[in-house]
Amino acid sequence: MPTFSVLVIDDEVDFMETVANRLKKRNIEALGVASGEQALSLLKARAFDIVLLDIKMPGGIDGIETLRAIRHHHPLTEVILLTGHASLETSVEGMRLGAFDYLLKPVKFEDLLRKIAAAHQKQTLAADKT
């Protein structure tokens, strides 16, 4: 698997850290942050190829707003939405704003890896075309 960078944004710190660690274990450059604010400030400094974004984060900037900002500042970054709170409206909204896909927690790690790979592939193809 070619190396690329993944940012995990989730207020559930245990989840966020573990996923980041497991990705790193698979030679993927991964970083985790616990809020939309942290994510956005980090994204000002650098870009990520893939973002795993929890839609529902209490207080501050929520998932949808974060998604909107990422799409605005980093249009090439692919965002995969992740949440324990499945709501059709949010997922439709997320997809409309250009998220790559939508996954419901708990998700099998293999499925997550497949989804990340697919997003990265799409990104690579898009880059090749340009």
Partner 1 sequence: MPADYHGTHATTMKRKIYRRLRLQIIGLTLLVAVTPLVLLGGAIYNQFARAHEARIEEQMRLLANSQSNAVDVFLRERTNLLAILVERYTYNEMAQQEFLTRLFETLNRRSDMLGLVDLGVIDDTGLHVSYVGPFNLKGFNYEQQPWFGEVMTKGKYVSDAYMGFRLFPHIIIAVRGRTGQNQWILRATIDLEMLNQMVRTAQAGRMGDAFIVNENGVFQTQPRFDGRTLEGSGIDPKPFSIGTTIVSKSSQGAITYYYAGAWLKSKNWLLVIRQRTDDEVGGLLHTRNTAIAIVALGVLAIIVTTIFIAHIVVRHLAAVQKELDTLSVQLVQSDKMAALGKMATGIAHEINNPLAVIGEKAGWMKDLLEEEEFRNSPNAEEYFGSLAKIEEHVERARKITHNMLGFARRMEPRLDDVEVNTVVDQTIELLANHARTNNIDIRKNYHPSLPVIASDQAQLQQVILNLINNAIDAIGSDGSIDVSTYLENNRIVVAIKDDGPGIPKEVQRNIFDPFFTTKANGRGTGLGLSISYSIIEKLGGTITFTSEPGKGATFSVHLPVVVPEKK
CA–CA separation, 70 and 29 (whole Å): 18
Asked if residue 12 binds partner 1 (CB under 8 A), the reply is: yes
What pairs with residue 67 in β-bridges? Answer: none
Q: With CB under 8 A as the contact rule, which of the stretches 27-35, 38-46, 63-71, 105-113 interacts with partner 1?
A: 105-113
Asked if residue 29 binds partner 1 (CB under 8 A), the reply is: no
Q: How far is CA 113 from the centre of its chain?
A: 12
Asked if residue 58 binds partner 1 (CB under 8 A), the reply is: no
Task: Work out which of 96, 108, 125, 128 binds partner 1, going by CB under 8 A.
Answer: 108
69: exposed, middle or buried (Cβ count in 10 Å: 0-12, 13-18, 19+): middle
Asked if residue 21 binds partner 1 (CB under 8 A), the reply is: yes
* Beta carbon nearer to partner 1, 86 or 126: 86
Task: Work out which of 58, 72, 75, 88 binds partner 1, going by CB under 8 A.
Answer: 88
- Cβ pair 49, 120 in contact under 8 A: yes
